[in-house]
Amino acid sequence: MLARELRQAYLSFFESKGALRLPSDSLVTEDPTLLFTVAGMVPFKAYFEDRATPPRNSLTTTQKCLRTKDIEDIGDTSHCTFFEMLGNFAFGDYFKTEAVTWAWEFLTDVLKLDPKDLRVTVFEDDDEAYNLWRGLGLPPERISRLGEKTNYWPANAIAAKSQGPCGPCSEIFFDTKPTEPFDTDWDGEGSRWLEIWNLVFTQFTGVGEGDSYRLVPLPKKNIDTGMGLDRTAAAINRLSGPFETDLLRPIIADLETLSGKTYTGTPDAVTDIAFRRVADHVRATTFLIADGVTPDRTGRGYVLRRLMRRAIVAGIRVLGFGDAPFLDRAVPTVVHVMGDAYPELADRQEYILGQVRAEETQFRATLRRGLSLLDELLERGALTGAEAFDLYQTNGLPLEVTQEVAAERGIEIDRAEFDAAQEAQQRASGKGNKATWVTGDDDLKELLRSLPL
């Protein structure tokens, strides 16, 4: 099943259950605590908190999301900055019975997944969820009772005596290695079991403090679920990761044509890592600019600029792109792949191309200057972490580039010294760009438990 078919199947299924399909909200969220939309429920926070009235008490969406907490991992076979979150939501409408039953129906009847390839987790005290899964035919060994660190929203809410709405969750996992012996002693996602869906049952509110703290049932219970489209499409098609799906593989194929190099899908090959990094970052770049973000030194624009520069560096140093800008040449493929679901990409394509060309042209000049200065410093046979930070801060030379060039000459950069210089600069400026860059799960903890990418 193609990813776009999975997207349509999900939305149509929940429409058939009475949900109103809404278009994706912007990546630029109105929530003042977040830079970007990091999960499907973010646009509906006011509905969950009963501060606004939804257009219908049952909704379904595919939401554009951006998380950058794992930016250093981008280039491996599984992580993405931009992704789509499929979700179904209920505000005082259906609750746990329907959420669990419909999830099972969608996976086994619509997607035709083998029940033997699925297992679930529930909160250790949530007998209702456990019994619902048992009633659907899941044997006890495929239902794991786990604690509030993994199966409660917010995580550890009870131990922390968190105030406000909270509740247990149930996560659904897919077996990526079905030929291996089944392991009943299991406590979470690993290399074999991939989380594909998280069902959050917001049924309590925490009140009181200290010994008087207690969970009070909510008069209006809510459902919040999330399924990562990219990773689920990869899993059910037995692919090695999201970069092999019809969402990202065409972008890599385009980069192969442009660079003249071949992508083999090898996890640790330097060239393949660069292909995946550029593909991810150009997709994120296209969506961010379409939603009104422009490269800048702070805030959302800073995140966009970092993504673009990481892609440009990988393209130049590894994929062999020469003096002419290349990133804009991959944008039309992103638009072609994603444009049916997100027509704003085609509507703003020329604007996106102009922004990408201008930023790459400017950065290439900066990069040449930075590399020239780096060469001069390395002639001494050493480079301090503080000097590496100055190259980054003043000349825009990414640390990873400095590290790679230095390593070629047998010189190692003191990362702790680099971090100390960066933190000192942030304290002096008050900008806190490092915090800006990692916006993602840390901000999300108070909003919802982490959902699958």
How does strand 118-123 pair with strand 143-146? parallel
Q: Is the pLDDT of residue 449 over 50?
A: no
Torsion angle (degrees, nearest 10) of CA 185, 190, 194, 200: 70
Same domain, 289 and 205: no
Q: Between vectors from CA 395 to CA 390 and to CA 398, what angle results, nearest 5°? A: 80
Q: Which of 264, 269, 268, 238 is nearest to 249 (CA)?
A: 264
- Span 147-151, mean pLDDT? 95
d(CA 144, CA 394): 52
pLDDT (tens digit per residue) in 13-45: 999 999 999 999 999 999 999 999 999 999 999
- Span 237-242, mean pLDDT? 93
The pair phi, psi for residue 220, each rounded to 5°, is -125, 105
Same domain, 284 and 324: yes
Asked, for residue 445, whether it belongs to a domain, the answer is no
Asked, for residue 260, whether it belongs to a domain, the answer is yes
* Unique residue bearing structure tokens 């960066």: 422
| Global confidence as pTM | 0.89
Asked, for residue 447, whether it belongs to a domain, the answer is no
Query: Which of these three, 187, 222, 241, is where a domain ends?
Result: 241
450 CB-near residues (< 8 Å, 6+ apart): 155, 441, 444
Q: Is the pLDDT of residue 411 over 70?
A: yes
pLDDT (tens digit per residue) in 331-355: 999 999 999 999 999 999 999 999 9
Asked, for residue 259, whether it belongs to a domain, the answer is yes
Same domain, 23 and 110: yes
Q: Which of 84, 65, 90 is nearest to 14 (CA)?
A: 90
Same domain, 54 and 196: yes
Where residue 429 falls among pLDDT bands split at 50, 70, 90?
A: low
| pLDDT value, residue 223 | 98
Cα–Cα distances in angstroms (integers) from residue 357 to residues 7, 70, 279, 329, in the given order: 31, 26, 16, 9
pLDDT (tens digit per residue) in 122-140: 999 999 999 999 999 999 9
Domain extent for 304: 248-438
DSSP 182: P
Same domain, 34 and 177: yes
Q: Is the pLDDT of residue 120 over 80?
A: yes
Query: Which of these three, 209, 241, 273, is where a domain ends?
Result: 241
Give the number of domains in the chain.
Answer: 2
pLDDT (tens digit per residue) in 360-394: 999 998 888 888 999 999 999 999 999 999 998 88
Same domain, 335 and 432: yes
Asked, for residue 449, whether it belongs to a domain, the answer is no
Q: Is the pLDDT of residue 272 over 50?
A: yes
187 CB-near residues (< 8 Å, 6+ apart): 144, 146
Same domain, 277 and 231: no
Asked, for residue 48, whether it belongs to a domain, the answer is yes
Same domain, 191 and 138: yes
Where residue 436 falls among pLDDT bands split at 50, 70, 90?
A: very low
Asked, for residue 446, whether it belongs to a domain, the answer is no
Asked, for residue 450, whether it belongs to a domain, the answer is no
- DSSP string for residues in 29-97: -S-TT-SS--STTGGGHHHHTTSS--SSSEEEEEEEEE--TTGGGBTBSS--SEEEEEEEEEESSS-HH
Q: What is the CATH number of the domain that holds 224?
A: 3.30.930.10
| pLDDT value, residue 398 | 80
- Span 98-112, mean pLDDT? 98
- Span 300-308, mean pLDDT? 95
Same domain, 206 and 315: no
Measure the N-to-C terminal CA separation of the chain; round to a whole number of Å: 18
Same domain, 254 and 206: no
Q: Is the pLDDT of residue 445 over 80?
A: no
Same domain, 191 and 305: no
d(CA 230, CA 172): 16
| pLDDT value, residue 187 | 66
Where residue 308 falls among pLDDT bands split at 50, 70, 90?
A: very high
Query: Which of these three, 214, 241, 268, is where a domain ends?
Result: 241
Where residue 446 falls among pLDDT bands split at 50, 70, 90?
A: very low
- Span 181-190, mean pLDDT? 78
Same domain, 281 and 387: yes
Cα–Cα distances in angstroms (integers) from residue 7 to residues 13, 103, 227, 320, 333, in the given order: 10, 15, 10, 35, 19
- Over pLDDT 70: what percentage of the chain? 94
Q: Is the pLDDT of residue 438 over 90?
A: no
Average pLDDT over all residues of the chain: 92
